[in-house]
Structure 1
């Protein structure tokens, strides 16, 4: 079945008349394009702003998700390529959070003409530790197996606990609740399938193929992506710059949008 990219990924375009300057915002697991609402509007006067929902999340077409198709991040990269092709995008800035960091990387390697600069927030090429290679990803396999089991046994209880840990900022519980709401809105079977694909992925060998100006943004404490991963990305993406922002948790664009905007303005 052939899907219209706009309907499939619930694409939103702000200031669509500006074809000269485009900025794309790509969300991470458990959120949707609304995660960028505090940042995207800042650019809507100067840029054509493109937002979308990954298949399986937000208001993407439910019929488009298949665990057999979306068994690697390449399928999500293919969706990003289809969106860029449909909009005739060239030399856009892409701001990608979490898993979308590697999705954007794959798309940029395949179609470098789409992007001029890349900002990767809390990205990781591999979440599993690799002791043989001296790589610290932040998780071992038993921990991930326990995560999958918790998701399967009582998804909504898992959502409540995970959202609070990932968002951090306990003094602002409304932030964790907002994340819990978007996470709980995902069909549990889809969430479990996507989580496995993300946490079992390994795109370390792809990093050397990326040839774009890249800004890596990392918080001081992130339960999903430790500082070791940010340093690894910085060491393996040619010419990349790493900035540790004044924020806590895995979602600084939500908890500290001013910090992210400051770094975006300096970079682009």
Structure 2
């Protein structure tokens, strides 16, 4: 008997209403990263939150072949929607979770009502002269080398960049602990997938309406990234929040909830 994907990914279904929402977390996170958001939208929508394979409580679900590409994670998402009986959903993705969501929406656009992309990036690497992703190749090479040699050192390096210097130190420490708790081998592979991704050529093919949410001061995905995506995604809209960091649903959940409630009401 095939194992339930909902169980394998420790999916949590909550909320009520005619709308349905799926939440896709980013690198270094799990389903609990949405804890400040879910209670505030579940009066408007049924909500599905889950752990990506290799993350949170779903380490044993990770398969090096299937999850050797982000498409494998997108296939997981579509399988979860099938099992949960969610036919048309609002997909909310954070960072690389946004890319996973995009891949799923490209493969099965009929499954998605709309997308909300929080701090997305189709490519983290700069590609001069027309694209500013935020990183040079040497920056990523140093990060990957640090992950190989010092599992805790890279967490201390990445956490402040993700949370933003102007946000509470407690958020940075929480995220650092989450990074340190990752299974090292899986973390290294997932980091390479996330930071080496390039899905720019796919953006014009998206037919599902998308809201791009960009933070004004984001060290991982500069504001230029959101504007670049908006210019190339038909039917997209862009909101630039006047906040710092790469995780608005953690540092400023009230802003994200306000946007989500507006989307779900619409």
For Structure 1 versus Structure 2, the TM-score category normalised by the shorter chain is: over 0.9
Unpaired segments of 5 or more residues in structure 1? none
TM-score by length of 1: 0.93
Whether the aligned pair in 1 keeps the contact of 2:41 and 2:260 (CA below 8 Å) is no
- What residue is the counterpart of 1:36 in the other structure? 34
- What residue is the counterpart of 1:120 in the other structure? 117
- What residue is the counterpart of 2:204 in the other structure? 208
1:8 Cα deviation from its structure 2 partner: 2.2
Question: How many correspondences in the alignment?
Answer: 264
- What residue is the counterpart of 2:164 in the other structure? 168
- What residue is the counterpart of 1:9 in the other structure? 9
1:156 Cα deviation from its structure 2 partner: 0.7
Unpaired segments of 5 or more residues in structure 2? none
- What residue is the counterpart of 2:105 in the other structure? 108
- What residue is the counterpart of 1:224 in the other structure? 220
1:171 Cα deviation from its structure 2 partner: 5.2
Counterpart secondary structure, 2:35: helix
- Once residues 129 and 255 of structure 1 are traced to their aligned partners in structure 2, the CA distance between those partners, rounded to angstroms, is 26
Distance of aligned partners of 1:89 and 1:187 in 2 relative to their CA distance in 1, 3 Å threshold: same
- Once residues 2 and 146 of structure 1 are traced to their aligned partners in structure 2, the CA distance between those partners, rounded to angstroms, is 41
Counterpart secondary structure, 1:245: strand
- What residue is the counterpart of 2:153 in the other structure? 157
TM-score by length of 2: 0.94
Give the alignment partner of residue 236 of structure 1, picking from 232, 239, 243.
Answer: 232
Whether the aligned pair in 2 keeps the contact of 1:246 and 1:259 (CA below 8 Å) is no
Question: Which consecutive segments of 4 or more residues in structure 1 shift more than 6 A?
Answer: none
CA RMSD of aligned residues (A): 1.6
1:228 Cα deviation from its structure 2 partner: 1.6
- Once residues 126 and 234 of structure 1 are traced to their aligned partners in structure 2, the CA distance between those partners, rounded to angstroms, is 14
1:110 Cα deviation from its structure 2 partner: 1.1
1:130 Cα deviation from its structure 2 partner: 1.8
1:134 Cα deviation from its structure 2 partner: 2.0
- What residue is the counterpart of 1:184 in the other structure? 180
Q: Deviations over 1:76-125 (max 9, x none)?
A: 10000000111121221111100011111111111112110110001111
- What residue is the counterpart of 1:24 in the other structure? 22
Counterpart secondary structure, 1:157: helix
